């Protein structure tokens, strides 16, 4: 089959610079920041700096913007345009299904508030000088027309690429990915379409690519604790890391987080990262449970030694 172009999806709380650096060790080129809230950016939220931090070695990086207030989107787009990051793409979020986002008519809720969505996209397009894309979901599980029509309208407003998660917003991450809807959009618009949803291993990506006709495949939760998925997609075959490789990468990832957030912040934020690397790998329950007690680098090193010495740990 044709080669696959793997893309890291934006994931709040995950796809920061340390996460991307772990993925880039396995061939990731098309990286994405975690989503940045337009209001937070306008009002100089202290978390924004880490979300937007771009490594000097990152050749390509897109930023994802979330919001539904046109004035905030205008100002935040100006900040992203004029700032020091030089992002290659601005991606507008119309796919996030979580309630706290939807209640603000942002994310996937914009797909049901289409006049507002079009106003938001038009404001961003007016300000952003580079490539503009939209990440969205499907609107109907059986009938392609609603999703196709929305995609066509977005393209008419100057959107140059679409990433489509093949589930309804209400399904969040459960249920089948409706690849026929993604294929219908790909065949109906003259811009690049990226398929998203349910990719945890190479075979998932192969199936998604074949059924949608998309060579661009976006990986989200499948990269958590599994950065080598990008090697799998690039080489089109499974990759089985050793236990030692898994733990070495986890240590690298946490060390990068210390550089980014300081020891205390990194250990708190890093608990879910550690869990991603070790859950489902045959380690004893008591070791997995001890992750929530990590507060210092020494705590992490103590756990790491125990994991390295545990005979039950396995590669997969």
* Neighbouring C-alpha atoms within 13 Å toward the C-beta of 293: 10
Q: How far apart are CA 155 and CA 189, in angstroms?
A: 7
Q: Would you call 175 exposed, middle or buried from its count of C-beta atoms within 10 A (0-12, 13-18, 19+)? A: middle
**12: DSSP letter:** T
Max Cα-Cα span within the chain: 58
Both tokens of 199, joined, read 């990719």
Answer yes or no: are the C-beta atoms of 78 and 49 closer than 8 Å.
Answer: no
Q: How far apart are CA 91 and CA 167, in angstroms?
A: 19
Catalytic residue among 96, 120, 279, 295: 96
Packing angle of the helix pair 297-309, 243-278 (nearest 10 deg): 120
Q: How far apart are CA 200 and CA 158, in angstroms?
A: 32
Q: What b-and-e string marks burial along 141-150, b requiring 16 or more CB atoms within 10 Å of the CB?
A: eeebeebbeb
Q: How far apart are CA 113 and CA 36, in angstroms?
A: 21
120 part of the active site: no
131-137 and 61-66: which strand pairing? unpaired
- Catalytically active residues are 96
């Amino acid at each position: 089959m044709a080669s696959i172009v793997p893309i890291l999806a934006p994931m709040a709380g995950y796809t920061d610079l340390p996460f991307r650096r772990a993925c880039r060790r396995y061939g990731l080129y098309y990286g994405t920041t975690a989503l940045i809230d337009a209001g937070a950016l306008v009002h100089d939220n202290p978390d924004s700096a880490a979300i937007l931090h771009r490594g000097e070695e990152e050749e390509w990086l897109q930023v994802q913007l979330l919001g539904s207030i046109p004035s905030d989107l205008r100002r935040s787009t100006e900040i992203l345009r004029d700032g020091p990051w030089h992002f290659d793409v601005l991606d507008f979020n119309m796919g996030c299904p979580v309630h706290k986002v939807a209640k603000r008519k942002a994310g996937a809720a914009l797909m049901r508030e289409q006049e507002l969505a079009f106003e938001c996209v038009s404001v961003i397009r007016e300000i952003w000088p580079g490539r503009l894309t939209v990440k969205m979901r499907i609107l109907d599980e059986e009938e392609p027309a609603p999703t196709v029509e929305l995609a066509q309208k977005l393209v008419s407003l100057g959107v140059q690429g679409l990433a489509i998660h093949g589930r309804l917003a209400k399904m969040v991450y459960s249920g089948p990915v409706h690849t026929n809807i993604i294929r219908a959009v790909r065949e109906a618009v003259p811009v690049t379409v990226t398929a998203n949803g349910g990719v945890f291993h190479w075979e998932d990506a192969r199936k998604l690519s074949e059924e949608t006709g998309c060579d661009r495949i976006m990986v989200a939760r499948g990269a958590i604790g599994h950065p080598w998925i990008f090697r799998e997609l690039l080489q089109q075959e499974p990759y089985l890391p050793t236990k030692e490789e898994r733990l070495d990468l986890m240590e690298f990832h946490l060390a990068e987080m210390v550089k980014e957030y300081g020891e205390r912040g990194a250990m708190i934020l890093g608990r879910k990262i550690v869990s991603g690397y070790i859950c489902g790998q045959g380690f004893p329950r008591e070791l997995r449970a001890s992750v929530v007690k990590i507060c210092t680098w020494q705590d992490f090193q103590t756990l790491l030694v125990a994991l390295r010495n545990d005979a039950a740990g396995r590669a997969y």
